[in-house]
Amino acid sequence: MKLSQTRWQTYKDNPADAEIPSHQLMLRAGLMHKSGAGLYNLLPFGLKVIKKIEKIVREEHDKAGCLEILMTVVTPGELWQESGRWQAMGGEMVKMKDKGGRDLCISPTNEEAVTDIFRRLIKSYKDLPVTYYQINTKFRDEIRPRFGLMRGREFIMKDAYSFHENKACLEKVYFQLYNVYCSILNRIGADYKVVEADAGAMASSDQKTHEFQVLANSGEDLLVYNDGYAANIEKAKTKRILADFDLKGGTPEKIATPNVGKIEEICQLLGVKPHLTLKTLALMGVKGGQARPVLVVLLGDDELNETKIKNLLNADHVLPATEAELESLKCVKGFIGPFGHPQEMHTVFDAAINLDAFYIVGANQKDFHLKNFRPSRDSKNYEVSDLRKTKEGDLALSNNLPIKITRGIEVGHIFQLGDKYTKSMGVTVLDKNGKGVVPLMGCYGIGVTRLAAAVIEQNHDEKGIVWPEAIAPFKVHAVLIGRTEEFRTKALNAYEEIRAHGIEILIDDRDVGPGFKFKDAELLGCPWQLTLGEREFGETGKFKLTNRKTGQATEISPENVAQEIERVTKQ
Ligand code: ATP
Ligand code: MG
């Protein structure tokens, strides 16, 4: 492609609202333009990258026997009514009415639509398993769209759905798709971890689900791992190493702590370690619009894992109690304790708490704490559950080894859904005895546009993007520097020869200075830069091929230039 004909434009400055490298670089390198919050138009070079990712995704799914379909982006509300998600989906799903007053939505995901396709086509166990997939636009009205393609509102996803007669078959296909995802990420050259994940509202929490996480400092997810264990922090099962609880204690004793409500301040005032205190959080678990209070008790230096309390309460979400709610519950902010509430409160102690040890807790009275509080003696009607957030240094429950924590970008998520959708939508197939059974489902999503951004997070330097060859807009970015007609013809002939050989090449034939051209080439970040420089050519009779990542340059002969490029780039 000749750059003079592409209308490509780059930008020197980072846009004010672009916080992370991939967002900045995709805009600056002219891969996309913003059209609105969480909305981006892909320009020619950006689209090339997306098409390459799609090709890899498609090839790997086809190889595994998945069937490509294309579902409508707008789906009828009736399907969502059937599954019960018309109400449950919340504000991320954009709903609308057509001119006849019928409900429609812009698909945020497609379990209902694909289940409808399935129930019309498949009647017998003999046609199972089957996996459908599509590469299509999704819309989610995200609470905080940000980071460009990383968390857009409109984005491209590959979503796949598998159907099975039984659990064993689901398990088998689930791991086939797991391997498809690994192959895709390996081909793209991503550095990633597969982690155990929380099923959220997609399935019940005992069904398997894994996330594919590209490792990057800008990642929104925290990953807990060691040799042999990896989980999203939301799901991680770990324990803390702790021995020195206060096991002697005594009788409860109220102590004055004027204006001292924070754990650190209490510890300083009384000269105790934070884990010898308990923090009590007053929260509201909200389900179906109904809010119920709960007291969560943690060791003083632990934090709450919000996913775990949400799952325990089976709530849609969990919020801190408001000032008014605290007042009606007779909880004094900063001094809440897990005992003696006038109204019976649902109380949950974190599993790391030694219930027979003695602690300092809030006294349920302004400016007072209680010493020698012993949960097993002084609290009533409580339950115990693992609710604390995993910390560096914890041991994984599965192998008792210390864990580390790192950041990741979730690019893929796979679930065993079970019969959630097939059951609610009344789907059956005939088993071998001619009896109707409800098929089981798996679903598998990979963010195509998010993946492009995630790859840039891992592959860039101060000059620009450093594309891995598999998804680079072009393999070679040629920079033509020369004024004479004779040299320009020679250079353009070389370009034609390379192109005819099937190597993807972009040539910068614009009428601008060399400095400008090199800067743009580095910003766009194609893996190989070919300098077609008149002066150098005059001195050496050679062109120069430079590796964008390593900076290593090789002189190549203009004879058989395409083969020369192949030889050098294969090394
Ligand atoms: P997240 O927790 O990041 O919101 P999710 O759990 O909502 O993701 P899924 O519903 O599992 O995501 O969707 C499958 C994949 O689609 C994700 O792994 C991600 O790669 C991509 N994806 C989801 N939401 C977005 C978005 N707003 N912008 C870009 N890609 C997205
Ligand atoms: Mg989401």
Give tens-digit pLDDT for 508-558.
999 999 999 999 999 999 999 999 999 999 999 999 999 999 999 999 999
Which residues, at least 6 apart from 549, have a Cβ–Cβ distance to it below 8 Å? 459, 466, 527
The residue contributing the CA closest to ligand 1 atom 21 is 447
Atom of ligand 1 nearest to the CA of 152: 28
Q: How many CB atoms lie within 10 A of CB 76?
A: 17
The residue contributing the CA closest to ligand 1 atom 23 is 447
Ligand 2 centre from 141 Cα, in Å?
10
CA 50 – CA 71 distance, rounded (Å): 19
The residue contributing the CA closest to ligand 1 atom 22 is 447
CA 106 – CA 426 distance, rounded (Å): 23
Q: Which stretches of 130-276 are assigned E, i.e. beta strand?
A: 130-139, 154-164, 192-196, 209-215, 221-226, 229-232, 238-239, 253-256
CA 40 to chain centre: 19
CA 335 – CA 420 distance, rounded (Å): 43
* Segment 315-364, tens digit of pLDDT: 988 999 999 999 888 889 989 999 888 667 899 999 999 999 999 999 99
Ligand 1 centre from 51 Cα, in Å?
19
Ligand 1 centre from 426 Cα, in Å?
28
The residue contributing the CA closest to ligand 1 atom 11 is 413
pLDDT for residue 202: 60
- Enter the DSSP assignment of 212: E
Q: Positive or negative, the Cα torsion across 198, 201, 207, 212?
A: negative
Instruction: Tell me the Ramachandran region of residue 289: left when phi exceeds 0, alpha when psi lies from -120 to 50, beta otherwise.
Output: left
Ligand 2 centre from 371 Cα, in Å?
44
Global pTM reads 0.94
* Segment 375-421, tens digit of pLDDT: 999 988 899 999 999 999 999 999 999 999 999 999 999 999 999 99
Which of the listed residues 413, 446, 451 should we mutate to test ligand 1's pocket, taking the one with most ligand atoms within 8 A of CB? 413
Confirm or reject: Cβ of 152 under 6 Å from ligand 1.
yes
Q: Positive or negative, the Cα torsion across 69, 423, 119, 169?
A: positive
Instruction: Tell me the Ramachandran region of residue 197: left when phi exceeds 0, alpha when psi lies from -120 to 50, beta otherwise.
Output: beta
* Segment 74-107, tens digit of pLDDT: 999 999 999 999 988 889 999 999 999 999 999 9
Ligand 2 centre from 35 Cα, in Å?
21
Confirm or reject: Cβ of 157 under 6 Å from ligand 1.
yes
Strand partners, 23: none
Residue 564 CB-density burial (10 A; 0-12 exposed, 13-18 middle, 19+ buried): buried
Q: What would the mean pLDDT of 290-317 be, rounded to a whole number?
A: 94
Which of the listed residues 213, 235, 410 should we mutate to test ligand 1's pocket, taking the one with most ligand atoms within 8 A of CB? 410
What is the three-state SS of 322-390? CHHHHHHCCCCCCCCCCCCCCCCCCEEEECCCCCCCCEEEECCCCCEEEEEECHHHHCCCEEEECCECC
**Residue 561 vs residues 55, 357, 379, 526: alpha-carbon distances, Å:** 28, 77, 81, 18
- Enter the DSSP assignment of 165: S
pLDDT for residue 279: 95
Strand partners, 350: 385
Please report which ligand is nearest the Cα atom of 108: 1
Q: What would the mean pLDDT of 469-484 be, rounded to a whole number?
A: 97
pLDDT at 447 over 90: yes
Which residues, at least 6 apart from 436, have a Cβ–Cβ distance to it below 8 Å? 428, 429, 430
- Enter the DSSP assignment of 357: S
Nearest C-alpha neighbor of 37 from the set 19, 55, 17 = 17
Ligand 1 centre from 443 Cα, in Å?
13
Check if the beta carbon of residue 549 is closer than 8 Å to that of residue 567: no
Q: What would the mean pLDDT of 489-494 be, rounded to a whole number?
A: 97
Ligand 2 centre from 354 Cα, in Å?
36
Atom of ligand 1 nearest to the CA of 142: 27
pLDDT for residue 481: 97
- The pair phi, psi for residue 176, each rounded to 5°, is -65, -45
Coil/strand/helix, residue 551: coil
The residue contributing the CA closest to ligand 1 atom 12 is 413
- The pair phi, psi for residue 372, each rounded to 5°, is 60, 40
pLDDT at 45 over 90: yes
Ligand 2 centre from 50 Cα, in Å?
20
Q: How many angstroms separate the first and last alpha carbons of the chain?
A: 25
CA 464 to chain centre: 23
Nearest C-alpha neighbor of 38 from the set 113, 146, 117 = 146
Round the average pLDDT of the chain to a whole number and report it. 95
pLDDT for residue 201: 62
pLDDT for residue 90: 83
- Please work out, in degrees rounded to the nearest 5, the angle formed at the alpha carbon of residue 36 by the alpha carbons of 31 and 37: 100
* Segment 158-208, tens digit of pLDDT: 999 999 999 999 999 999 999 999 999 999 999 999 999 998 766 565 689
Please report which ligand is nearest the Cα atom of 444: 1
CA 295 – CA 336 distance, rounded (Å): 9
Check if the beta carbon of residue 8 is closer than 8 Å to that of residue 45: yes
Confirm or reject: Cβ of 449 under 6 Å from ligand 1.
yes
* Segment 120-129, tens digit of pLDDT: 999 999 999 9
Ligand 2 centre from 180 Cα, in Å?
22
Confirm or reject: Cβ of 374 under 6 Å from ligand 1.
no
DSSP conformation letters of 457-489: HHSEETTEE---GGG-S-SEEEEEE--SHHHHH
CA 417 – CA 159 distance, rounded (Å): 14
CA 379 – CA 338 distance, rounded (Å): 7
